[in-house]
Amino acid sequence: MSGYIVEVNNLSKTYKSGHQALKNVSLQIKQGEILALLGPNGAGKTTLISIICGLVNPGPGSVQVAGFDVVKAYRQSRQKIGLVPQELVVSMFETVWNSVVFSRGMFGKARNDAFLQTALQSLSLWEKRDSKVMELSGGMKRRLLIAKALAHEPEVLFLDEPTAGVDVELRRDMWRLVEQLRQQGVTIILTTHYIEEAEAIADRIGIISQGELLLVEEKQQLMMRLGQKQLILQLQQPLATVPASLASYALDLSADGLLLTYTYDGGSDHNHVTEMLGAIEQARLKLKDVHTKQRSLEQIFVSLLEDAS
Amino acid sequence: MNWYAVKAIYLSELARTWRTPMQSIASPVLSTSLYFIVFGAAIGSAMVSIDGISYGAFIIPGLIMLTVLTESTSNSSFGIYMPKWSGSIYEVLSAPVSAVEIVLGYVGAAASKSLILGGIILLTARFFVDYSILHPGWMLLFLLLTCITFSLLGFIIGLLADGFEKLQVVPLMIVTPLAFLGGTFYSISMLPEFWQKVTLFNPVVYLVSGFRWSFYGVSDVNVGVSLAMILLFMFSFLVIIYWIFRTGYKVKV
């Protein structure tokens, strides 16, 4: 065992159409972490998840889950995995209860009504247990898919675009649920193109584009490393122009002359904040307030994709 | 073996039958009963007996086969095609199950449904026609093997089909005509010699003949040949299913 719950090594995948969906992807996922895979449509996120879960035949490379190869030891690897697909694909004529009982059985677990009851209760579906799936709202169907994925008590949960097309309230519910699962020790890998989702819940971020994994990094480090910061100085008196003594700091002056903005590399130990503030004092500018702003993950994501293309 | 998965698929598929009793049970029983009424009780009394068996009794094994063949094929193809069509097949494909377990679940359920249906039709026939079963054990074996074999065929159709229309083509355009022309309503010895030879290329002849032998002890072809043919079909279908799962053809990309 390598210590990773999921290990992908040099994985490639080319479909019969000739489209290369994955190009030599390597990825290691630690137990208990939340990894968000970000990427535009067609980047290869779903292909990667589908190969790990057994839905798509892998190409060259290897994939292991809890140390088990997903092809050679598929039974052991798949028992560890729960998958919540992107689409609302569930048998519409089944009842909610039968649907989760089916899922648990499929993964080789003896029926455990008490566990399934708890799972349904935690997803606010217990009252609907005797309803047919077709009678549920879209949000409830999505929660049911999560209940089905959790029915066999997996160690790794894949959420493929879990909040695509859901309302804000349900999205927040999902995020709470993900946090709750993490506290129970479940490793979560989610794909999303909602940047704020990754920003809100992920420990690490992977960015994938055109089948290539551009980077995988701790969220905080990524934002520190690639995130520019801005120091915004609010002046007591408006300025007509930036004083010549401050020209080297490339300060931006707002149209009303009351805000000076200094942009610097948040991850660098060698910025010039101290010197710039000293120069402000020497220029006898009186400050009313000071605050900082960090570049969002979305801005980082967009710039990385631009660099890649 | 993941028996829990086999049970989950099996029970889920059977539950589909109980959710639609009119379509799954009542409809085929009613339509077969109409044959008993028309050809057995009404016209049958005016027909000459065949091989010493009244016409009404003669057609019972063939009619049961006709229903069992079409229902096995339809049930099984629909059972696997529906999750493919809706996308919920992801759960089967991502579960720790082998092809053997998937087949046992889906084909087992479809064959069970057909077996139950065959039993109900057999009992229903008693209301309209007198018949006897000379070899009940063989009758059950022929019925069971036919249910399984044609459920395997349906499973293949369901795996390969890419539209609802294609699901219906084989049962309606191939299985039903073969059953009608396979000695359901007549003994092939009643045909001209040339057509007797042509008919031997119809696989359903062997099923109907063997099944009829288990009722009345008379058959168009040797009962051993009938049994061998059923086993040959079953083996061929199993090989095709093995190939589909091995290559992922129309199942995985």
Residue ranges with strand state E in chain A: 4-14, 20-30, 34-38, 62-65, 68-69, 81-84, 156-160, 187-192, 204-209, 212-218, 228-235, 252-253, 259-265, 287-294
A17 touches chain B (CB under 8 A): no
Domain boundary among A195, A223, A251: A223
Residue A234's nearest CA partner among A294, A292, A283, A282 is A292
CATH number at residue A148: 3.40.50.300
Domain boundary among A223, A254, A271: A223
Instruction: Please check whether residues A37 and A186 belong to one and the same domain.
Output: yes
Query: If you average pLDDT over residues A25-38, what whole number do you get?
Result: 92
Kindly list the domain boundaries of chain B, sorted by start residue: 3-179+232-247
What is the C-alpha separation between A182 and B46, in angstroms, rounded? 78
Domain boundary among A223, A247, A266: A223
CB contact under 8 A, A75 and B96: yes
Query: Which residue among A90, A93, A103 sits closest to B19, beta carbon to beta carbon?
Result: A93
Residue-range definition of the domain harbouring residue A142: 4-223
What is the C-alpha separation between A180 and A222, in angstroms, rounded? 24
Report the mean per-residue pLDDT for chain B: 88
Structure-model confidence comparison of residues A187 and B196, the more confident one: A187
Percentage of residues in chain B with pLDDT exceeding 70?
99
CA distance A29 to chain B (A): 20
What is the C-alpha separation between B159 and B73, in angstroms, rounded? 12
B88 touches chain A (CB under 8 A): yes
B164 touches chain A (CB under 8 A): no
Q: Is B13 left (phi over 0), alpha (psi -120 to 50) or beta?
A: alpha
| pLDDT score, position A152 | 94
Total domain count for chain A? Answer: 2
The DSSP code for A246 is G
Instruction: Please check whether residues A149 and A246 belong to one and the same domain.
Output: no
Nearest CA in chain B to A97: B12
Percentage of residues in chain A with pLDDT exceeding 90?
49
pLDDT in tens, A7-30: 999 999 999 889 999 999 999 999
CATH number at residue A264: 3.30.70
pLDDT in tens, A50-94: 999 999 999 999 999 999 999 999 999 999 999 999 888 888 889
Structure-model confidence comparison of residues B82 and B47, the more confident one: B82
CB contact under 8 A, B91 and A98: no
Nearest CA in chain B to A58: B253
| pLDDT score, position B237 | 94
Instruction: Please check whether residues A202 and A302 belong to one and the same domain.
Output: no
Instruction: Please check whether residues A168 and A242 belong to one and the same domain.
Output: no
Instruction: Please check whether residues A236 and A212 belong to one and the same domain.
Output: no
Instruction: Please check whether residues A156 and A34 belong to one and the same domain.
Output: yes
At residue B144, what is the residue type?
L
ipTM of the complex model: 0.84
- Tell me if residue B86 falls in helix, strand or coil: helix
Query: Which residue among B88, B90, B96 sits closest to A55, beta carbon to beta carbon?
Result: B90
Instruction: Please check whether residues A219 and A232 belong to one and the same domain.
Output: no
pLDDT in tens, A104-149: 999 999 999 999 999 898 888 999 999 999 999 888 888 899 999 9
Instruction: Please check whether residues A30 and A167 belong to one and the same domain.
Output: yes
**Picking from A225-229, B152-156, B180-184, which range would have the lowest pLDDT averaged per residue?**
A225-229
Instruction: Please check whether residues A23 and A154 belong to one and the same domain.
Output: yes
Report the mean per-residue pLDDT for chain A: 87
Residues of B in contact with A53 (CB under 8 A): 94
Asked whether A48 and A37 are in contact (CB, 8 A), the reply is yes
Instruction: Please check whether residues A219 and A243 belong to one and the same domain.
Output: no
Instruction: Please check whether residues A84 and A207 belong to one and the same domain.
Output: yes
Instruction: Please check whether residues A174 and A259 belong to one and the same domain.
Output: no
